[in-house]
Amino acid sequence: MKVLIVGGGGREHAIAASMRKSSRLEKLYCVPGNAGIAQIAECEPSIGVMEFDKIAAYAKEKQVDLVFVAPDDPLVGGLADVLKEAGLRVFGPDKKAAILEGSKAFSKDLMKKYHIPTAAYETFDNPDAALAYLETAKMPIVLKADGLALGKGVLICNTLEEARAGVKEIMLDKHFGNAGNCMVVEEFMTGREVSVLAFVDGKTICPMTSAQDHKRAKDGDEGLNTGGMGNFSPSPFYTKEIDDFCRKHIYQATVDAMAAEGREFKGVIFFGLMLTEEGPKVLEYNARFGDPEAQVVLCRMKNDILDVVDACIDGTLDKIDLEFEDNAAVCVVLASDGYPVSYEKGFEITGLHNFDGKEDYYCFHAGSKFDAEGRVVTNGGRVLGITAKGATLHEARRKAYEATEWVDFSNKYMRHDIGKAIDEA
């Protein structure tokens, strides 16, 4: 098979690495890709993920058999629809299904209508009505911009003053652009967070092994929310009992609800879960692989990813027995100091060769490119996702942190407590 991956971060590098293991893969392309993906795929850095017509033309020119759309923006914007109209075979939900991630108001209403456990909420498209509601609401409270906001459109407010300022930020100052035209105000939940990603073919859902993200920028879960500073898989807190509950009341229920709404979902659903005292509840849905969830999950998957992708497209996922290795993986993100606010780019990355031939160690590139002299330089807030597998979570964590020392670049920044929660398990 000739395959084109759309995207250019650590997630796409992990997907590309997984496809490289398939005996069915003949040729791999990626737009725009990055310097790491370029080692295993032919990249076209001049094409951006929102340039739908250029992507379709490139896919046709290369005569690919499959286009795998990985990031949220193009999925929510309808890239899958455009590619399908051009006669291409596509992995990823179409626009009317990707709304599961694209609108928090939609996803909350869906959960309410189909009795899928989630936090209580109200939706507002008028700031005055939101402010009036907050006057008598219980604090802390959570404000969420309705649309896509790079994972940053969620404000946890401890006081009424903070909540008032939050409404201003989201709905009046439009800090997150049009994503803030509408806002969800949600009950604050406490508990452990777990991410579960699942392949979906419209009717059948196959959950993958669990993971736990670290969204805040600084050690001890301090600092701003980021795209994710590292994670581990599996989560020791995601027990068999919790899994049984989620399969019945959350995973299958979500797939059935989308089908009932005429929005059949095919692709990957990412369930952000909070394990509360009252049981698991949905924090959020994403319509795609997580980044860096893909890095710790796919390296442990035993199946040929192309078989699973085909089954999702063809509606034959019930024939697939999804299997994961009985081990663990940890990913530590090496970022540019200052991320997620402001940071410099263009610094040379050294030591990448240290990963050559090392089994169970992976250096996934998130933000890298070649400069004019052909050197690999930093090109983003998140730069590399240093990932290692081990027999246990402790071993995987030790190996991942060991490997963070193998590479270097100016302003290299990482959290030092990725996976600390496993000590409490």
Residues forming contacts to ligand GLY in the complex (CB under 6 A) are 151, 213, 227-228, 286, 290-291, 293
137 binds ligand AMP (CB under 6 A): no
Nearer to ligand AMP, 270 or 409 (CB): 270
* Among 231, 381, 337, CA closest to 291: 231
Which span sits near ligand AMP by CB under 6 A: 89-97, 183-191, 305-313, 335-343? 183-191
188 binds ligand AMP (CB under 6 A): yes
Pattern 390-419, ligand AMP, x by CB under 6 A: ------------------------------
17 binds ligand AMP (CB under 6 A): no
Sign of CA dihedral 216, 221, 223, 224: positive
Residues 26-64 as b/e (b if ≥16 CB within 10 A, e otherwise) read eebbbbbbbbbbbbebebbbebebebbeebbebbeebeb
Helix (H) or strand (E) holding 121: strand 121-124
> Smallest distance from the beta carbon of 273 to ligand GLY, in angstroms?
13
- Contact partner at residue 291 from ligand GLY, ligand AMP, none, CB < 5 to 8 Å by partner kind: ligand GLY
> Smallest distance from the beta carbon of 193 to ligand AMP, in angstroms?
6
Report the residue from 283, 298, 334, 407 that binds ligand AMP according to the rule CB under 6 A: 283
113 binds ligand AMP (CB under 6 A): no
CA distance 144 to 156: 9
Nearer to ligand AMP, 207 or 227 (CB): 227
180 binds ligand AMP (CB under 6 A): no
Closest residue to ligand AMP, Cβ-based? 284
> Smallest distance from the beta carbon of 297 to ligand GLY, in angstroms?
11
Scan for tokens 């939900």, then name that residue.
93
- Contact partner at residue 8 from ligand AMP, ligand GLY, none, CB < 5 to 8 Å by partner kind: none
Structure tokens at 70: 């990985």
Total of chain residues touching ligand AMP, rule CB under 6 A? 15
Which span sits near ligand AMP by CB under 6 A: 52-60, 186-194, 344-352, 354-362? 186-194
Residues 147-166 that bind ligand AMP (CB under 6 A): 151, 154, 156
First to last CA, the chain: 43
Indicate the residue type of 52.
F
Nearer to ligand AMP, 226 or 379 (CB): 226
> Smallest distance from the beta carbon of 347 to ligand GLY, in angstroms?
24
> Smallest distance from the beta carbon of 189 to ligand AMP, in angstroms?
4
272 binds ligand AMP (CB under 6 A): yes
> Smallest distance from the beta carbon of 131 to ligand AMP, in angstroms?
19
CA distance 186 to 160: 14
72 binds ligand AMP (CB under 6 A): no
The helix/strand/coil state of 142 is: strand
CA distance 20 to 35: 16
Q: List phi, psi (to 5°) of 332.
A: -115, 120
Q: Residue 164: exposed, middle, or buried by beta-carbon count in 10 A (0-12, 13-18, 19+)? A: middle
Q: What is the CA radius of gyration of the chain?
A: 21
Q: Which residues, 6 or more positions from 148, have their beta carbon under 8 angstroms from its beta carbon?
A: 72, 73, 76, 101, 102, 179
Nearer to ligand GLY, 264 or 291 (CB): 291
- List, as one string, the DSSP characters of 186-228: EE---SEEEEEEEEEESS-EEEEEEEEE--EEEGGGEEEE-S-
142 binds ligand AMP (CB under 6 A): yes
94 binds ligand AMP (CB under 6 A): no
Report the residue from 40, 86, 119, 165 that binds ligand AMP according to the rule CB under 6 A: 119
Nearer to ligand GLY, 163 or 268 (CB): 268
- List, as one string, the DSSP characters of 354-422: GGTT-TTEEEEESSEEE-TTS-EEE-SSEEEEEEEEESSHHHHHHHHHHHHTS-B-TTEE--S-TTGGG
Q: What angle in degrees, to the nearest 10, is found between the helix axes of 160-167 and 127-135?
A: 170
Residues of this chain that interact with ligand AMP (CB under 6 A) are 119, 142, 151, 154, 156, 186-189, 193, 215, 225, 272, 283-284
